Amino acid sequence: MKHRAEEPLHHWFWNQDAVDGVNWEDWDRLLQKTDRPSVFLDSRMMRAMLSASDRNVAAVCWTREGRLIGLGLVEDAQAESVNLSGHIKSKGWFDAVSKLLHGRSGRLRFSVRVIGTVLGSGEHAIRFDSDVSPVEQMSCLENNVFSSKSNWGTKVPNVAMFKDVIIPPEGIRGSEFKRWTPLEFDPEMVVYVNPEWKDFAAYMAELNTKSRTKIKRILALSEAFEMEEWSLDQLEAKGEELIAMYRLVFERSGFRLGSLHLGELIESKRTWGDAFIIKVYKLEGAAVGFQCAFVTREATEAFFVGFDPELRKSHAIYQRMLLEFIRMGIQVGSAEIHMGRTALDVKSSVGALPRRLRCEVRFRNPLAHQIVQAFTKGYKPANIKLKRPWKETSFPLVRHSKIHSI
């Protein structure tokens, strides 16, 4: 069937075949033109993900008359829910149904097509040129989300998740998509960096007295660590050590969407070079933890951490890692530091502020979708009282207020 000239065409490029199949100059040019930077949609990140042997990823392009007008990131992944009711505020009947779905094992596993980043948080799903209306953008997504099958030969998942869309602080969890159901989980935690901060001391100066005391205690408890940044050669030679430490943290999470593999770290380091930092923590000569991040002027994306859980209290290893993410962001001049959507309380204690996000979910089976739509009306994210470490006139608080008042 011949398409009308004005109707956008969609093109799916899967996995390794996509690395040479996509015009990455056009891709990056459109991404820059939208003025909405994204580490995860950057061609360097896309090529790293598409090259990973253990991830089922597609680059999606929308064109009109041969011109690229839209781009997107899609991944077919495995989701696993463990004790979901412990992470949400729900009605009694929701708990009962949740327990039934999770079974005796307390685990619910299913395949999901994710539009956006599996291994991160934030608005990294799609970008369109300015001449593509919001209605047309939604049409592009809705009409072909289940249309392509991976070149791995795997089945197209029966459920799709579009993640993430920012919700105003006092806004409702409404959907802009007619055939999708909105879900809200924990917020993304963000540190807004004052452009006048030249060092870590400047960051501390905008904290209140009580919080500065806590930061100094974290630094004291963690001073025994030796830290070193790993090169690509070190990662290729000893990277399995980091994955083992990552799994110590990963296995404790309540909801898992995808998993980090060594190939991901290696390809990221090879593609991003010095803009992808891997910092390893040693204690008495032995590696006991690591953290990694993508650092750009737009944002520092805290990617993953791994550590011996026993060191969290005795040596404040996790808290120290959060401070090091902040230090990285200040050093490179990032506008924001994105810390993800877990461990909200401890992240708020070092200055991260919440940014509400929603996901949109759609089932291929209309009946299943209606059931889930009714089911999800019974819950919302669990209420967590966050720390308030900033002085009232601090840059991060003022910036957060301005962004969320728009």
Let me know whether 88 and 126 are in one domain. yes
> Quick check: is 334 in a domain?
yes
For residue 384, what pLDDT is reported?
75
> Quick check: is 16 in a domain?
yes
Distance CA 259, CA 223 (A): 31
From residue 287, alpha-carbon distances to 156, 224, 238, 311, 381 in Å are 40, 13, 10, 12, 36
Q: Which of 226, 127, 207, 229 is nearest to 387 (CA)?
A: 207
Distance CA 188, CA 337 (A): 11
Let me know whether 396 and 250 are in one domain. yes
Let me know whether 32 and 140 are in one domain. yes
Let me know whether 296 and 376 are in one domain. no
> Quick check: is 4 in a domain?
no
Let me know whether 332 and 364 are in one domain. no
User: Which tokens hold the place of 163?
Assistant: 């993640």
Residue 47 is part of which domain span?
Answer: 9-186+356-381
Let me know whether 364 and 348 are in one domain. no
For residue 24, what pLDDT is reported?
97
Residue 79, strand partner residues:
110, 257
Place of tokens 């599996």: 118
For residue 381, what pLDDT is reported?
66
> Quick check: is 2 in a domain?
no
* Rg, the chain, Cα only: 21
Q: What is the CATH number of the domain that holds 143?
A: 3.40.630
Place of tokens 């398409």: 3
Prior bond of 54 cis (ω within 30°): no
Three-state DSSP at 104 gives coil
User: Which tokens hold the place of 111?
Assistant: 């395949």
**Type and span of the H or E element at 176:** none
> Quick check: is 3 in a domain?
no
For residue 349, what pLDDT is reported?
97
CB 339 within 8 A of CB 193: no
Cβ contacts of 247 within 8 Å, gap of 6 or more: 306
| Residue at 50: amino acid letter | L
**Type and span of the H or E element at 33:** helix 24-33
For residue 3, what pLDDT is reported?
47
DSSP letter (8 states) at residue 386: -
For residue 92, what pLDDT is reported?
52
Q: CA 395: distance to chain centroid?
A: 24
Q: What is the pTM of this model?
A: 0.88
User: Which tokens hold the place of 170?
Assistant: 């006092």
> Quick check: is 114 in a domain?
yes
Cβ contacts of 203 within 8 Å, gap of 6 or more: 194, 197, 326, 330, 351
pLDDT one digit per residue (tens) for the chain, 406 residues: 454 547 889 999 999 999 999 999 999 999 999 999 999 999 999 999 998 888 999 999 999 999 999 999 999 998 876 655 554 555 554 555 455 454 555 567 889 999 999 988 899 999 999 999 988 988 888 888 999 999 999 999 999 999 988 887 666 666 667 788 888 888 999 999 999 999 999 999 999 999 999 999 999 999 999 999 999 999 999 999 999 999 988 776 666 677 788 988 999 999 999 999 999 999 999 999 999 999 999 999 999 999 999 999 999 999 999 999 999 999 999 999 999 988 899 999 999 999 989 888 898 888 877 777 776 665 666 677 899 999 999 999 999 988 776 5
Let me know whether 341 and 218 are in one domain. yes
Three-state DSSP at 312 gives helix
> Quick check: is 40 in a domain?
yes
Let me know whether 154 and 259 are in one domain. no
Cβ contacts of 103 within 8 Å, gap of 6 or more: none
Let me know whether 194 and 342 are in one domain. yes
| Residue at 251: amino acid letter | E
For residue 7, what pLDDT is reported?
80
Q: What is the CATH number of the domain that holds 315?
A: 3.40.630.30
Distance CA 265, CA 256 (A): 18
CB atoms under 10 Å from CB of 145, counted, come to 22
